[in-house]
Structure 1
Amino acid sequence: MSRTDDVVDGIKRMIFDGELGPGDKLPVEKDLAERLGVSRGSLREGVRALSILGILDTRQGDGTYVTSLDPSRLLSPLRLVVDLHGEAEAQPFHAVRRVLETEAAGLAARRITPGALAEARALLDRVAEILGRSPVDHAQFIQADVAFHRIIAGQAGNPVLEALIETLASRTVRERLQRGRDDERAEPRTAQDHEAIWRALAAGDAEGARVRMAAHLLDVEESLR
C-alpha cells in the first residue's frame, strides 16, 4: 500500500469513526501528516484523491473540509465512467437505468406530494404545447422529459437511488434528442407514456407506475439500439 493510500484510508477512518463529519475542517497539514505517519507531500496527494471523489473540499487560504457527503456528489465520478463508454457499450447502462427508474416509480407512487404531482402535471401540459408547435423544439421537449423523470426519482425517498438515476439518465440525453429528430412518432409516444405514468402516480398505484415506467423505458432502450 502506498503512503497516499495510507492518507486516504486514515481520513476515511476518521469520518467512519465520527471524528470528522460533514462540514468539519481537517486538522492543519503538519498535525494531520504527523498523526497519519506520512510526509506532507503524501498527505496532499491523498487529499487531492479524496477531493476528486467528492469527500473533501480544499478552500484556498482557508483549509480543507469534509463535504456534505451527499450521495449525488459522491457518485459524480460514476458519470465519467458512463460517459467514457461509446454507443456500442451503452446498452448495459440503459438496462440498469430502466431497472432503477421502474423501482423509483413504484416508490414515488406511495409517497409523491401534491406539489410534486402538480409540478409533473405542469410539465406534461408544457410538453403538449411543445408538440403542438411546428416545428417542434426537440431541445425543449428533452428538457421537460428530463425534468419529469427527475421529479419521480426525487419523490422515491432514496437519495442514493436518485443520484444513480441522475447519473445514468444523463447518458441517454443526446441519443433521445437525436431520436426525436429522426422519428416523428417518438416524442408523441413518449408523451403518452408519461401521461400513463402520471395517472398511476396520481392514483397511488405503485404496481401500475412500475409497469408503465418499465414499458416506457424499454421502448426508449430498444429504439436507441
Structure 2
Amino acid sequence: MSRTQGVVEDIQRLILDGGLRPGDRLPAEKELAVELGVSRGSLREGVRALVVLGILEARHGDGTYVTDLNPATLLTPLQFVADVPGDRTELQAVRRMLETEAAGLAALRMTDPQIARARAALDDTTRTLVDAAPDPQALVRADLTFHRAVADGSGNSVLAALIDGLAGTHARRRAWEELHDVAGERVAAEHEAILAAVTARDPDRARLRMATHLLGVEDLLAGRAVRAAVGAR
C-alpha cells in the first residue's frame, strides 16, 4: 500500500469512527501528519485524493473540511464508470433493476413538483423531436431530467444517487445520436406511459413500464451494434 493510500484510509477511518464529523475542519497539516505518522507531502496527496472523491472540501484560505457526505456527491465517480466504452450489458442490467424499483416507489411517493418536472422534461423531448435535425444534447438533457425526477420521486436519496451515478451522460448522448431517428417517438411514448402509471399511483404498472422501456432501449442499442459490426466486415 502506498503512503498516499494509507493517508486516504486513515482519514476515512477517522470519519467512520466519529473522530471527524461532517462539517468538521481538519487539524493543522503539521499536527495531522504527526498523528497519522506520515510526511506532510504524503498527507497533501491523500487529502487531494479525498477532495476528488467528495469526502473532503478545500476552502481557499480557510483550511480543509469534511463535506456533508451526501450520497449524490460520494457516488459521482460512478458517472465515469457508466461512460467507459465497452460492453455495457451488466451495467445496464443493474441500472434497469434500480430504475424499475425507483419507478414503483415513485408511484407511491412522488410529489407534485417532481411530477411537474418530469412532465416538463417530456414536453421538451416532444418539442425537440419535431425539429428537422433534433439536437442530441437537448434530448439528453430532457431524458436525464425525466429519469432523475422519477428517481428523486422514489423518496430514497441513496437509490436516486446510484441511478444518477449510472446515468452515463456521454453514453446517453451516443444513444440519442444513434436512435432518435428510428426510436425517438417510441422512447417519448414509453416515458409518457411511465409517468401515467406513476401519476395513477400504480406501482406495479410503473415498474412494468420502466422495465419494458429500459429493455427496449437495450435491445435497440444491441441491434444497432450488431448491424454496425456486420456492415464493417
Aligned counterpart, 1:203: 200
Cα distance in 2 for partners of 1:2, 1:144 equals 43
Pair 1:30–1:218, CA change in 2 (3 A): same
- Is residue 2:67 matched to residue 1:67? yes
In the alignment, what sits opposite 1:165? 163
Distance 1:93 1:189 in 2: 23
The match for 1:32 is 32
Q: Quick one: percent identity of the two aligned structures?
A: 53
Given that 2:58 and 2:64 are in contact with CA atoms closer than 8 Å, whether structure 1 keeps it comes out as yes
Residue 63 (structure 2) pairs with residue 47 (structure 1): no
- CA offsets per residue over residues 104-155 of structure 1, 9 Å max, x none? 1111111001121122223323333333444444432332222111100111
Separation of aligned partners in 1, 2:122 and 2:82: 28
Over 3 Å counting, the alpha-carbon distance change for 1:82 and 1:63 in structure 2 is same
The 5 A counterparts of 1:129-208 are 129-171=127-169, 172-181=171-180, 184-208=181-205
Structure 2 gap ranges (5+):
223-233
Work out the CA distance in 1 between the residues paired with 2:109 and 2:207.
14
Aligned: 1:213 with 2:210? yes
Query: RMSD in angstroms over aligned alpha carbons?
Result: 1.9
Does the 8 Å CA contact 1:156/1:162 hold for their aligned counterparts?
Answer: yes
CA drift of 1:187 comes to 0.8
* Structure 1 residue 222 corresponds to structure 2 residue 201: no
Structure 1: runs of 5 or more not aligned: none
* Secondary structure of 1:109's aligned partner: helix
Deviation per CA, 1:2-21: give whole Å up to 9, x if none.
43343223211221122212
User: Is the 1:7–1:42 Cα contact (8 Å) retained in structure 2?
Assistant: yes
**Which residue of structure 2 aligns with residue 93 of structure 1?**
91
CA distance in 1, matches of 2:9, 2:167: 32
Query: More deviation in 137-146 or 161-170?
Result: 137-146
Query: Displacement, 1:28?
Result: 0.3
Contact 1:142 1:176 in 2 (8 A): no
The question of whether the paired residues in 1 share the 8 Å contact of 2:110 and 2:155 is answered with no
Contact kept, 8 Å, 2:193 with 2:209, in 1: the verdict is yes
Q: Corresponding residue for 1:123? A: 121
Amino acid at match of 1:74: L
Per-residue deviation at 1:159? 1.9
